[in-house]
Structures are given as C-alpha cells and as structure tokens.
A = this chain, B = another copy of it.
Amino acid sequence: MTQAQTYAAAGFGANVPRGRTPAIVVVDFSYGFTDLIYPTASEATTQMVATKAICDAARAKGFAVIFSTIAFHPGEVDKLPWLKKATGMAALIAGTRLVEIDAATGIQPQDAIVTKKGASSFFGSTLASLLTGARADTVVVCGATTSGCVRATVVDAVQSGFNVLVPADCCADRAQAPHDANLYDMAQKYADVTDSADILQWLDSLPAKS
C-alpha cells in the first residue's frame, strides 16, 4: 500500500466539522519569534498580515481572540527540563521585549494573553478553560512555529474537545521541511489545514455571537 492508502485505511484525514462559535488562538507571535534580530525568530511578516485579517474578522463578530506567549520567571529557568534541551528559549524572560506580542498582529486590549512555559499553548495554562468559558466550539490556530508550538497547540486543542482549523498561510517556521511535514501530520490526524481566505469566508458566513 502507498502511504496515502495506509492512512486512508487507518481512518485519517476526515473533514473537521465546523461549529457556530469559533475562537482564534495566535501562538507565540511575540517579538522573540517574529523579529529576526533574535536568533529564536523566523520570518513571519506575511503570516502576521494574514493572521491579523482573521483576528479582525473574528473580533468584529464577537468571537474570542486569544494570544499566547512564552515568558519565564527567572526562578523557573533552572527547574524546567525543556530549557536544557531547547536552550535558546531561556532568553524569553518576562518583562522583556521578546515576550511581547508583535504589534503587527493587530492585537487589541480586550484580547486575552495566555502565558505558557512550553510548546503547547494549552499545557500549564488556562487556555482550555478560557475557550470553554467563551463557549467556543471550533479553534483556529495561527502562529509560530508550525513544527513546534503550533503543532503542540493543535494536538492539545483537539484533545481538549475543540474542532481545529489551521490556515497554513498564518503559520511561520524556521525551515520549509519541518513546516511541510507538520502540516501533513496535522491535516491527517488533528485538524483541517486550510488557508486564511477560507477562514475569512467562513467567519463572514457566521452570525455574530449573541
């Protein structure tokens, strides 16, 4: 069997149902990941433009827009094994510019910001509670990087009880091969991989949140 046949036989790749109450989760579009003066960043200019369009459309309908950022308290750094493997992440200290959300995303004061300490925006954070409290049924995940924090967030989003959509043109990464490989995995197993035009059209079709 080809890989495509094996995956189809295993029951992967079905279409994700779309609900009536989306929420947008923007993963780690903080300067540490978007401004190329920092070694942890990747080029994300067009991805932030596409993400901003989605966030603006969602906000106009009353849907939740939530950003995540990695930010460590100095007292945490020696305790977290992840920082011994991914040593560059230890630069993301609370209060520095690296952990601030990039203004190019168009973030607004009413958008919640979730602080996290690992790859997933859900792990050790209140994101699932916020999305449940907002009565979201479908989560659109944008951000950086595709092969790291976006992937981990997508896996946790579907595990947390949400339908998940990933607009690929809203996802940035440091290298093309991991970006593509992870979009493939996500599309087969966890989420529908689509683009921002499709998400905008879908948001446009929905009634505003009452």
A115-144: CB near B (< 8 Å → 1, else 0) gives 111111001111111111111010000000
**Residue in contact with A79 in the complex, picked from B9, B11, B79, B134, CB distance below 8 Å:** B134
Residue of B nearest to A109 (CB): B74
Known: A75-B112, A174-B10, A181-B177. A159 touches B82 (CB 8 A): yes
Q: Verify A124–B129 contact, CB threshold 8 A.
A: yes
Q: Verify A162–B84 contact, CB threshold 8 A.
A: no
Known: A110-B74, A137-B135. A129 touches B159 (CB 8 A): yes
* Chain A residues bordering chain B, tally (CB within 8 A): 84
Known: A16-B84, A84-B14, A125-B124. A132 touches B162 (CB 8 A): yes
CB-CB under 8 A from A89, the residues of chain B are: 11
**Residue in contact with A158 in the complex, picked from B17, B118, B134, B155, CB distance below 8 Å:** B118
A125 and B90 alpha carbons, distance in the complex (Å)? 18
Q: Verify B79–A130 contact, CB threshold 8 A.
A: yes
Nearest CB of B to A44, in Å: 14
**Residue in contact with A181 in the complex, picked from B6, B124, B137, B178, CB distance below 8 Å:** B178
Residue of B nearest to A108 (CB): B75
Nearest CB of B to A198, in Å: 17
**Residue in contact with A163 in the complex, picked from B84, B111, B130, CB distance below 8 Å:** B84
A56 in contact (CB, < 8 A): no
Enumerate 6 A-B pairs (CB-CB under 8 Å) in ascending A order: A14-B84, A79-B133, A81-B162, A116-B126, A118-B155, A133-B161
Given A120-B155, A152-B155, 9 other A-B residues pairs in contact with their CB atoms under 8 A: A3-B174, A81-B164, A120-B156, A124-B129, A132-B162, A148-B185, A148-B189, A181-B182, A181-B185
Q: Verify B84–A161 contact, CB threshold 8 A.
A: no
